[in-house]
């Protein structure tokens, strides 16, 4: 075949022959045309070749399609008209085209991501170059395998929107965290968003790379807890679910006296009692009893024992009333009584008291009865 003009009549004849052998021969000849680096087609020749491709693709069998891909050993040289057709075929046929053909446009790739299953998206995610628009479409599939492939692909351009999507998924998908944090596009805002979800070694990496301050870590903790509790808003009264939330917070070293007011402000009163039980070492039933008493003597003792300062105690005492049935207004004398208890109790005495209550809960019951008698004379 010395020129394209000599081969066109033969290809036209093969196109009119519907046999599989003719289709295979036509596929081979088309491959020869496009794999010759010196091939230059006129406008008319291009139109004729496009018609031949359309006929070939509309009438060929799976075997012909597979052989067509095999003929184009260098898939990058495959013309767009063939590539766009083969990219929508079975994954066996489509994968090499999706991986390597540069003539597929962003629009072509996004259409395939949106209309084919995740395995097609996975092949696209492994391309040598991926634009921001295609990366956005890939990560919004919600498939963790695809997200990880994008995150690990340094030839992908990842937008802030895509970073946020993958960061949200990385909260619950461990395999996404490291490749995402090592991305060149990563910034301190997204790193802080992930900080309280990731492992200790990745936290150390984030601190070193982004120079995160203590204040930013505290703010990130507050934001993370708010987001996490918002995910469990409908289950805030379910002790089993709240225990799982407390487990997560304990695992991430997030149970501190500082988070208690935030938990109450978000209306998670059962979780507050669970966290208070873990911080104080008391049983949950005993903490429930303490939080139900009038006067705040038990809460004052716990706060003193776990080194909560006076302003924080006032906040906890007032906020905790939201979890009690009926009137939630605090009488001024009740608050004064609670503050007096807090002021006259040292941390050492409070710790001894908690150990006594933990060893013998009946001791708290007796203490509560004595306190109630005293409170009746005050209120």
Sign, Cα dihedral of 206, 210, 213, 218: negative
> b or e along 83-97 (b: 16 or more beta carbons within 10 Å of the residue's beta carbon)?
bbbbbbbeeebbbbb
* pLDDT given at position 212: 92
pLDDT tens for 15-41 read: 777 777 777 777 777 777 665 545 566
What is the rounded CA–CA span in Å between residue 110 and residue 107? 5
Average pLDDT over residues 101-123: 94
Strand ranges for 168-212 from DSSP E: none
Q: Output the pTM of the full model.
A: 0.68
**CA end-to-end distance (rounded Å), the chain:** 107
Distance CA(194)–CA(227), nearest Å, equals 12
Q: Which residues lie closer than 8 Å to 176 by C-beta, 6 or more apart?
A: 144, 147, 148, 151, 166, 169, 170
Contact 125, 152 (CB under 8 A): no
pLDDT of residue 375: 54
Query: Is 246 within 8 Å of 271 (Cβ atoms)?
Result: yes
Q: Band of the pLDDT at 2, cuts 50, 70, 90?
A: very low
C-alpha to C-alpha distance for 241 and 231, rounded to whole angstroms:
11
80 or 145, greater pLDDT: 145
1 — pLDDT class (breaks 50, 70, 90): very low
User: Average of pLDDT values for 70-81?
Assistant: 66
Closest CA to 56 of 109, 97, 6, 12: 12
User: What rounded mean pLDDT belongs to the chain?
Assistant: 84
SS3 66: helix
Strand partners, 130: 156
pLDDT digits (tens, 9 = 90+) for 243-253: 999 998 898 88
């Amino acid at each position: 075949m010395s020129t394209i003009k000599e081969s066109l009549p033969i290809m036209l004849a093969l196109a009119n022959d519907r046999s599989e052998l003719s289709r295979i021969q036509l596929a081979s000849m088309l491959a020869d045309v496009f794999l010759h680096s010196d091939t230059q087609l006129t406008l008319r020749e291009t139109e004729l070749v496009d018609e031949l491709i359309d006929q070939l693709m509309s009438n060929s069998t799976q075997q012909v399609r597979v052989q067509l891909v095999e003929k184009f050993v260098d898939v990058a040289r495959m013309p767009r008209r063939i590539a766009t057709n083969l990219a929508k075929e079975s994954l066996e046929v489509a994968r090499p085209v999706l991986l390597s053909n540069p003539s597929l446009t962003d629009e072509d790739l996004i259409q395939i991501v949106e209309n084919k299953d995740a395995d097609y998206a996975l092949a696209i995610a492994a391309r040598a170059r991926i634009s921001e628009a295609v990366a956005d479409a890939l990560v919004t599939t919600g498939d963790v395998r695809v997200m990880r492939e994008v995150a690990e692909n340094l030839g992908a351009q990842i937008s802030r929107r895509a970073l946020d999507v993958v960061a949200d998924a990385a909260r619950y998908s461990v395999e996404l965290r490291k490749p995402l944090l090592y991305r060149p596009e990563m910034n301190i805002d997204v790193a802080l968003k992930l900080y309280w979800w990731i492992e200790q070694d990745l936290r150390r990496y984030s601190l070193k790379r982004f120079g995160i301050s203590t204040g930013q870590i505290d703010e990130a903790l507050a934001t993370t807890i708010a987001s996490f509790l918002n995910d469990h808003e409908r289950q805030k009264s379910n002790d089993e679910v709240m225990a799982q939330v407390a487990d997560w917070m304990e695992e991430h070293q997030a149970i501190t006296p500082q988070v208690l007011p935030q938990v109450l402000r978000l209306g998670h009163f059962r979780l507050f009692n669970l966290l208070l039980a873990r911080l104080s070492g008391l049983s949950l039933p005993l903490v429930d009893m303490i939080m139900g008493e009038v006067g705040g003597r038990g809460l004052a003792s716990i706060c003193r024992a776990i080194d909560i300062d006076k302003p924080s105690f006032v906040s906890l005492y007032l906020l905790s009333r939201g979890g009690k049935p009926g009137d939630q207004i605090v009488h001024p004398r009740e608050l004064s009584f609670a503050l007096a208890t807090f002021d006259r109790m040292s941390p050492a005495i409070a710790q001894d008291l908690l150990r006594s209550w933990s060893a013998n809960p009946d001791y708290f019951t007796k203490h509560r009865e004595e306190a109630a008698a005293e409170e009746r004379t005050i209120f």
